[in-house]
């Protein structure tokens, strides 16, 4: 069964074009090394009434929106192998400065997940 890395992060709306450019480059690197899918989704309907909304959970500030991302792999072993290769890829060198990220790295949440249901 597949394995997913998932991320939720705040991005200033003014930084979305920069974030999108960075994501396209990053996605190409991960796909070139074997990731099955690479998705970046920007918040659209974030004020759900039945649960804690993303904006409140990640302390969204004025002018920010939420980005939800995931990368799909065949397995956790594949994820570990692909991540190691992608992080060493020379195309990533210019994008690894944490101070230059177009989002607040300290408020990003992330994790690896085993797929439990796939219908």
Give the chain's domains with CATH numbers.
3-95+105-114 (3.30.70.100)
Report d(CA 84, CA 65) in Å as an integer.
30
pLDDT for 21: 95
Q: Is the pLDDT of residue 99 over 80?
A: no
Q: What is the reported pLDDT for 61?
A: 94
In angstroms, the CA 72 to CA 35 distance is 6
**Rounded mean pLDDT, 4-31:** 96
pLDDT digits (tens, 9 = 90+) for 30-88: 999 999 999 999 999 998 888 888 888 888 999 999 999 999 999 999 999 999 999 99
pLDDT recorded at residue 109 = 93
pTM confidence score: 0.90
Burial class (CB in 10 A: 0-12, 13-18, 19+), 56: exposed
pLDDT at 12: 96
């Amino acid at each position: 069964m597949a394995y997913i890395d998932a991320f939720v992060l705040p991005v200033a709306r003014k930084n979305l074009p920069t974030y999108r450019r960075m994501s396209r480059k990053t996605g190409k690197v991960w796909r070139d090394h074997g990731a099955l899918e690479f998705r970046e989704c920007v918040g659209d309907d974030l004020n759900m009434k039945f649960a804690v909304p993303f904006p409140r959970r990640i302390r969204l500030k004025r002018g920010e929106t939420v980005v939800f991302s995931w990368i799909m792999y065949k397995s956790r072993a594949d994820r570990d192998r692909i991540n190691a290769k992608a992080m060493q890829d020379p195309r990533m060198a210019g994008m690894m400065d944490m101070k230059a990220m177009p989002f607040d790295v300290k408020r990003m949440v992330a994790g690896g997940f085993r797929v439990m249901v796939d219908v």
